Amino acid sequence: MHIYNQQKSYYKSGQTRPLQHRLAALNYLKDSIKRHEPEVIMALHQDLNKSEFESYMTEIGILYSEIDYTIKHLKKWMIPKKVKTALTHVGTKGKIYPDPYGVTLIIAPWNYPFQLAMAPLIGAIAGGNTAIVKPSELTPHTAEVIEKIITDAFIPEFIAVKQGGVDVSQQLLDTPFDYIFFTGSVNVGKIVMEKASKHLTPHTLELGGKSPGIVHEDASLKLAAKRIAWGKFINAGQTCVAPDYVYVHQDVKDDFLTYLTDAIEELYSHQPLENPDYTHIVSDKHFDRLTHFLDDGTLFYGGDTNKETRTIAPTVLTDITWDMPVMAEEIFGPILPVLTYESLDFIIDDITKQPKPLALYLFTETAYTREKVIAEIPFGGGCINDTIYHLATPHLPFGGVGQSGTGNYHGKFSFDTFTHHKSILKQTTMFDVPLRYPNQKAGLKWV
C-alpha cells in the first residue's frame, strides 16, 4: 500500500520522534479541528441528527481537553525512567525508554464517529508514531470532515485518512502495521485480532457488550434515575458504555420507575420524536433490529417509533428475562430493559455468567455493597452513583476486559498505549562479576 510505504519511510527518517514535533502536531490538530468545528457539527447533524450541544459535549470539547492535557504532560512522559538496581545486578543501571511503535492504524466506529477517530490519534501523535485513520463508512459526512481536518493539518506521510468500508478495512488489516487501534463491535474485534496475529501486530481493541446498571435498595433513587436516563438515552442509546439494562432492587422498583419516567420527560420532553435535537438511529438495519426488541416483556414507557426519520422514543421495558432477544445482544439503542432482584448475590451470579462487560454502574450508599460488586464482578471500568462519566477524565484508563476489549487509553494511558516501553540495562565496564560464568571463582574482577 502506497501510503503505508510512504509513512514507513517518513517514520524511519526520525522526524516524528522529537518532543517539538509531537507538540507542534498536537497544536496543528487542535487548530484544524477549531477551524472546521462548524463543519463537524453540521456533519454529525447530517449523519446522526446530533444536536450542537451533544456534539460539542461528547465529540469535540472532550478532544480539546485531551489535547491540552497531553501537551501539558508530554515532556515528562517522554523522559526515560530510571529504575532500581537489584543486588544481583551491582554495577548496572536500568532505564525504561518510551519508544514509538512506528506506523499505526486507527479504525473507528460510527456512534461517536468524530471523537473515536480523533482521540486515539492524539495518543498516536503523542507516542511519536505516524498514523492512518479509517473512519466509519456509516457516517460519511463526518468521515469527509475528518479527512479535511487531517489533510489540512498534516502531510500524508505523517498522518493520513483512508475512507471506505469493509474491503478497505480488511486491506488495511492485511498490511503489517506496527500497531492497530480498533474501536467497534465484538465480532469485528475478533477479525481484527485474527488479522493482527498474522503479523503478530500489537493492538488495542475497544469493543462493546451489555453493560449493567444496578440500583440497590439504599440508592439515592431520584438521582440514580436521572443519571441512568441520561447515560442510556444520550445519542439515542448508541453509546458503547451506555447502561444496556438495569437491575433494580425489588423494594424500590416502583419508585425508581416513576423517577425514571420523570427524568426521561425532563431530558427529552413528552414528545421525543418531535424533538429536533433527538438523535436518529444510524441505519435502517439497526432501526429494524431495535424495533423487534419492543415486543419483549411489558412496554412500561415509550415505544413510539418513526421509520422515516429512524427515531425510537426512549423506551422502558419491564418483566424482562434473560431468554428474551433484547437480553441476547448489546442493544445499542434507546430501549432500557428493567429487571428486578432481591439478593445481590443472585445478580452477581447472573452478571458473571455473561461475557465481562465494558462498564458497570452501581447505585448505592454503602461501602460494603460497593466493594462487594467491584470485587466480585469483572468489567472494564465504571461508576458508582453515575453513568458514563468515568470515560471523560484523563486520569482513568478507559477500556474493556475479555470480550469487551483489550488495552485502554485516555490521558497518559493513551501515550503508554502507543508507546513501546523499551528496557535497557547499562552494564559497567569497570569490573566483572565472574559468578555467572562457568568455571570461575566468586568475587569481583577489576578490569
Determine, following the binding rule CB under 6 A, whether residue 96 of this chain makes contact with ligand NAD: no
Supply the minimum distance, in Å, between the C-beta of residue 160 and ligand NAD: 15
**Phi, psi of 254, rounded to the nearest 5 degrees:** -65, -45
Candidate ranges 94-102, 205-213, 303-311, 342-350; the one touching ligand NAD (CB under 6 A): 205-213
Candidate ranges 130-138, 151-159, 220-228, 300-308; the one touching ligand NAD (CB under 6 A): 130-138
User: What is the C-alpha radius of gyration for the chain, rounded to an integer number of angstroms?
Assistant: 25
Q: Which alpha helices (H) appear in 178-246, and where do they start and end? A: 186-199, 221-233
Supply the minimum distance, in Å, between the C-beta of residue 405 and ligand NAD: 6
Supply the minimum distance, in Å, between the C-beta of residue 156 and ligand NAD: 19
Please, which residue, 58 or 311, has the CB nearer to ligand NAD?
Answer: 58
Q: Residues binding ligand NAD: what is the number (CB under 6 A)?
A: 27
DSSP assignment, residue 279?
P
Please, which residue, 58 or 111, has the CB nearer to ligand NAD?
Answer: 111
Q: What is the Cα–Cα distance from 313 to 233, expressed in whole angstroms?
A: 9
Determine, following the binding rule CB under 6 A, whether residue 185 of this chain makes contact with ligand NAD: yes
Contact of 40 with 78, CB cutoff 8 Å: no
Active-site residue list: 206, 240
The Cβ-side half-sphere exposure at 93, using a 13 Å CA radius, reads: 8
Q: Which alpha helices (H) appear in 250-395, and where do they start and end? A: 253-268, 284-293, 344-352, 367-376
Please, which residue, 185 or 306, has the CB nearer to ligand NAD?
Answer: 185
Determine, following the binding rule CB under 6 A, whether residue 201 of this chain makes contact with ligand NAD: no
Q: Which DSSP string do the residues of 45-96 spell out, in sequence order? A: HHHH---HHHHIIIIIHHHHHHHHHHHHHHHHHHSPEEE---GGGTT-EEEE
What Å distances lie between residue 130 and 12, 32, 80, 98, 106, CA to CA? Answer: 10, 18, 21, 16, 11
Residue selected from 108, 153, 360, 388 as contacting ligand NAD according to rule CB under 6 A: 108
Supply the minimum distance, in Å, between the C-beta of residue 91 and ligand NAD: 46
Determine, following the binding rule CB under 6 A, whether residue 328 of this chain makes contact with ligand NAD: no
- With residue 19 as reference, give the H or E element that holds it: helix 19-35
Determine, following the binding rule CB under 6 A, whether residue 207 of this chain makes contact with ligand NAD: yes
Residue selected from 107, 146, 161, 316 as contacting ligand NAD according to rule CB under 6 A: 107
What Å distances lie between residue 337 and 37, 133, 172, 297, 385, CA to CA? Answer: 36, 36, 38, 8, 19
SS3 label, residue 359: strand
Determine, following the binding rule CB under 6 A, whether residue 165 of this chain makes contact with ligand NAD: yes
Residue selected from 58, 111, 201, 408 as contacting ligand NAD according to rule CB under 6 A: 111
DSSP assignment, residue 304?
-
Determine, following the binding rule CB under 6 A, whether residue 330 of this chain makes contact with ligand NAD: yes
Determine, following the binding rule CB under 6 A, whether residue 358 of this chain makes contact with ligand NAD: yes
Candidate ranges 46-54, 164-172, 256-264, 347-355; the one touching ligand NAD (CB under 6 A): 164-172
Q: Which amino acid is at 23?
A: L
Determine, following the binding rule CB under 6 A, whether residue 183 of this chain makes contact with ligand NAD: yes
Determine, following the binding rule CB under 6 A, whether residue 288 of this chain makes contact with ligand NAD: no
Q: Which grid coordinates belong to 144?
A: 469527509
How many other C-beta atoms lie within 10 A of the C-beta of residue 379?
22
Residues of span 209-268 touching ligand NAD by CB under 6 A:
240
Supply the minimum distance, in Å, between the C-beta of residue 195 and ligand NAD: 8
What Å distances lie between residue 114 and 61, 139, 141, CA to CA? Answer: 11, 9, 10
Supply the minimum distance, in Å, between the C-beta of residue 161 and ligand NAD: 12
Residue nearest to ligand NAD (CB): 208
Determine, following the binding rule CB under 6 A, whether residue 188 of this chain makes contact with ligand NAD: yes
Supply the minimum distance, in Å, between the C-beta of residue 76 and ligand NAD: 26
Determine, following the binding rule CB under 6 A, whether residue 354 of this chain makes contact with ligand NAD: no
Q: What is the Cα–Cα distance from 268 to 233, expressed in whole angstroms?
A: 9
Supply the minimum distance, in Å, between the C-beta of residue 118 and ligand NAD: 13
Write out the residues near ligand NAD by the rule CB under 6 A. Answer: 107-111, 116, 134, 136-137, 165-166, 169-170, 183-185, 188, 191, 206-208, 240, 330, 332, 358, 400, 405
